[in-house]
Structure 1
Amino acid sequence: MTPQKTMSGAAWAQLVLLALIWGGSFLSTRIALDEIGVFTVVMHRCFWAMVLLWIVVLATGQSVPRAPRIWGAFLIQGVLNNVLPFFFLAWGQLHIESGLTAILNSFTSVFGVVVAAIVFADEKLTARKAAGVAFGVAGVSVAMGLDSLRQLDIRSVAQLSVLAATFCYACGGSFGRAKLSGLSPMVASAGMLTGSTLVMIPVALATEGVPELMLAPRTWAAIGYYSLIATAAAYILYYSILAKAGSGNLMLVTLLLVPVAILLGHLVLGEQLMPRHFAGFAIIASGLVVLDGRLVRRLRRSGA
């Protein structure tokens, strides 16, 4: 397992910036959905982010992989880490609040721990991790509500859709570690987005037709934000933080982005979340703190 790193001031600044960027992605996606379909939303996100990242790769002189095996891995990774989760999140946002989507999205780290424990020998599910997972499951159950767990309506299906996205992200993270860890992060991201674009173009054309270019300015602004900033630029920032602070510290971003998404949803879309949503998020956050482990170790040392 990767040891925890100390967070520098620069790393904290980048982490907060990434949380602000990703927190805004939920609002921009919801705005775009007012005018274009879910598949077209995902296609735009993958395509424009791919273009920008390949420009960065070529401008920085990085080599482009040629092995068919790597491009096959790009395709699988694109489906796991882009196509499926982007679709599940966007479809879910048609029926639930963007703030609630962000809360449920924070379950990604919990699924990540479970999937990694299954796939990798060095990521065993310890008692502490199992407790963190249990907190996460309890938090999601509270946020969704007992009614959603007892009966399936469109809101409960939408919430399950968001949770499906978090599972896909977890699988994508483990697949990327296993198959693409030898590549530079920028090349891996550009290749992954190429694979997802190759999937999404025919899917969007077959289901929603040729994309409309005469869109409202706010729709194009939303597309530009969630594709160029919240996807391409965010990947660049993500890997910069990962190198500086490690994966354990980077997990904090899933918590920090939630208040941003909730506030933007309230101010711009007039969304109102229920007390149980906030309570569920607090429990999920507690689970992530337990998974992180540092606070638990400090408490043990202080009590020793």
Structure 2
Amino acid sequence: MTAPRMGAQEWGLLILLSLLWGGSFFFAKIAVVSVPPLTVALLRVALAAAALHLVRLSLRIDVPRDFGFWRDAFIMGLLNNAIPFGLIFWGQQAIGAGLASILNATTPLFTVLVAHLFTKDERAGFTKIVGVLCGMAGVAVMIGSEVLSGAGSHIAAELAVLGAALSYGFAGVFGRRFRDRPPLVVASGQLTGSSCLLLLPVLLLNQPWKLGLPGLEPALAIIGLALLSTALAYVIFFRILKRAGSTNLSLVTLLIPVSALMLGLLFLGEVVEPHHLAGMALIASGLVSIDGRIWRVLRPA
């Protein structure tokens, strides 16, 4: 079986996905001021699911009626949304966003390990492992050493975010079974599953009927989070997964900090410092190593 590879179109989609998910930090920062994080998560996936089902109906694409698809869609929603969202939100009550970003950037490493154990065509080779380690080092350098000052003081919270990264790794590999399904159908099914799974915890813990209506800015942020950073993003997610495989897809977590930094530079006037550039260079070298073409060029005939 041929190992999945990244072409120019897949790299373009991966960069676009990183921009959409990098932008989610802006939307979430505005939304959680007025709305509890778990409720934001439910609104994010539920509105995104509704939007994708409307698009599906407009295109006259039938929803699968077999039990196996919906069983897998609920499992995917659990692994890719419900578990990681819950763990990250809980962990960030005790640790900062910078440290959480570094921990979450271990997703490609977990994905490489899970894919190596449970697949035959995505075995971890030397170049892929080197690339993942370079990318993780780049994320750490780019975010800055100051965020590590509190590392180790909140072990449970740090393990929770690492657990989320592990869950994303399993989700990437589990999602391979949807390769024969249209990305729009898979994305809408997964988001429907995660919406159902998050509904009961939100009702029990947040009691949303007691919450006041959010202001205009939080409402617009939630809509942007749902439509751009979730609905559109997951259609792209499953398209990349179908074409390039789970380990290549997981590289997006290395690109998200770069996207977030560039968005901050363009729209918030944030300053790019030397360690940011050094980190982006390390990430770029890691992506080149994982892509593999440079090694094939340099390899002796």
What interval of TM-score do these two structures reach, taking the shorter chain for normalisation? 0.7 to 0.9
CA distance in 1, matches of 2:83, 2:270: 26
Aligned counterparts of 1:141 and 1:223: Cα–Cα separation in 2: 29
Which amino acid counterpart does residue 19 of structure 1 have in structure 2?
S
Residues 274 and 199 of structure 1, relative CA distance in 2, 3 Å threshold? farther
Compute the TM-score of the two structures, normalised by the length of structure 2.
0.80
Secondary structure of the residue aligned to 2:199 is: helix
Equivalent residue, structure 2, for 1:234: 233
Residues 123, 5 of structure 1: alpha-carbon distance in 2 compared, 3 angstrom cutoff? closer
Q: Is the 8 A contact 1:106 1:284 kept in 2?
A: no
* CA shift in 2, pair 1:236/1:209, >3 Å: same
Show the counterpart of 1:200: 198
Report the Cα distance in structure 2 between the residues aligned to 1:33 and 1:172, rounded to whole angstroms: 26
How far does the alpha carbon of each residue in 1:168-226 deviate from its partner, in whole angstroms, 9 at most, with x for none?
Answer: 11111111113x33322111111111111111111111011125351011111111111
What is the one-letter code of the residue matched to 1:204? V
Correspondence for 2:293: 294
Letter in 1 for 2:189: G
CA root-mean-square deviation: 3.7
- 1:129 paired residue number: 128
From the superposition, tell whether residues 122 and 181 of structure 1 become closer, same or farther in structure 2 (CA, over 3 Å): same
Within 5 Å, give how 1:1-304 maps onto structure 2: 1-4=2-5, 6-7=7-8, 15-94=14-93, 98=97, 101-102=100-101, 104-135=103-134, 148=148, 152-154=152-154, 158-178=157-177, 180-210=178-208, 212=211, 214-239=213-238, 246-247=244-245, 253-264=252-263, 283=282, 285-300=284-299
Instruction: Provide the rounded CA distance (Å) in 2 between the counterparts of 1:46 and 1:107.
Output: 24
1:60 aligned partner, one-letter code: L
* Structure 1 residue 117 displacement after superposition: 0.8
How far residue 249 of structure 1 moved from its aligned partner, in angstroms, is 7.0
Q: 1:100 to 1:216 in 2, by over 3 A?
A: farther
For residues 23 and 140 of structure 1, what CA distance do their matches in structure 2 show? 14
With 164-173 and 39-48 compared, the bigger mean Cα shift is at 164-173
Which range moves more in the overlay, 286-295 or 113-122?
Answer: 286-295
Distance 1:295 1:93 in 2: 38
Deviation at 1:63, TM superposition (A): 1.8
Question: How many residue pairs end up in the alignment?
Answer: 297
* Change over 3 Å in CA distance of 1:82–1:147 after alignment to 2: closer
Mapped to 1, the partners of 2:208 and 2:83 lie a distance apart of 21
User: Could you report, residue by residue, the CA deviation over 1:74-119 in whole angstroms, capped at 9, with x for unpaired residues?
Assistant: 1111000111222334445555565665555443223222111111
Q: Relative to structure 1, is the Cα distance of residues 84 and 285 closer, same or farther in structure 2, using a 3 angstrom cutoff?
A: farther
1 CA distance for matches of 2:156 and 2:271?
A: 19
Q: Percent identity?
A: 38
| Displaced runs of 4 or more, over 6 A | 140-144, 266-278
5+ residue gaps in structure 2?
Answer: none
In the superposition, the TM-score normalised over structure 1's length comes to 0.79
* Distance (Å, rounded) in 1 between the aligned partners of 2:136 and 2:257: 17
Provide the C-alpha distance between the structure 2 equivalents of 1:68 and 1:252, rounded to a whole number of angstroms.
32
